[in-house]
Amino acid sequence: MKISIINGPNLNLTGKREPEIYGNQSLESYFQVLAAAYPDVQFTFFQSNVEGEIVNEIQRAGFEADGIVINAGAYSHYSLAIADALRAVPAPAVEVHMSNVYQRESERHHSAIAPACVGTIAGFGLDSYRLAIESIDAMLNAQSENG
Ligand code: DQA
């Protein structure tokens, strides 16, 4: 199984940025743990602060990965370009947020990309990414069992 993990703006500062919300661990160190926990999964990890680069990565990965895990950061709440890119590719996407966006400011309650994703996982810290991988795995297994 190939899974593409795509991260948006400011997520490169995870571990340093607002640790009371996002924790103390960096994405790099978490993704190393994740890759070790799933030796049979081929991961690609991508992060950009630039909307168009995220669109380019979705267009690239979306034709070769079996699933996309996307934390588009603040773009999640308003980027039609990212939503359109997710709709344009065959790989199913799961939207991820570390924080429980529904407990936060009302601007974070709306997701522009959620309608382009199979589901959303929010509020479990970095473990949200693992839960997204588990959900893609379960979904693909169910699809192959049902022919
Ligand atoms: C976030 C939530 C967004 O509202 C915020 O802009 C982020 C991170 C999360 O992972 O909780 O940058 O996507």
Q: How confident is the model at residue 146 (pLDDT cuts 50, 70, 90)?
A: confident
Q: What are the residue ranges spanned by the domains of the chain?
A: 2-146
Note whether 108 and 75 are within 8 A (CB).
no
Distance CA(98)–CA(73), nearest Å, equals 9
Least Cα distance to 50 among 16, 17, 20, 9 occurs for 9
Whether 73 lines ligand 1, by a CB cut-off of 6 Å, is: yes
What's the CATH number for 2-146?
Answer: 3.40.50.9100
Please tell me the predicted confidence (pLDDT) of residue 39. 97
Give just the sign of the alpha carbon dihedral 131, 70, 45, 88.
Answer: positive
Whether 97 lines ligand 1, by a CB cut-off of 6 Å, is: yes
The per-residue pLDDT for range 5-60, each reduced to its tens digit, is: 999 999 999 999 999 999 999 999 999 999 999 999 999 999 999 999 999 999 99
Distance CA(33)–CA(74), nearest Å, equals 25
The per-residue pLDDT for range 133-143, each reduced to its tens digit, is: 999 999 999 99
C-beta atoms surrounding 92 within 10 Å:
19
> Which residue, by CA, sits nearest to atom 6 of ligand 1?
74
pTM of the entire predicted model: 0.97
Least Cα distance to 42 among 4, 81, 85, 82 occurs for 4
To test ligand 1's pocket by mutation, which of 101, 110, 113, 127 has the most ligand atoms within 8 angstroms of CB?
101
Please tell me the predicted confidence (pLDDT) of residue 89. 98
Percent of the chain at pLDDT exceeding 90: 97
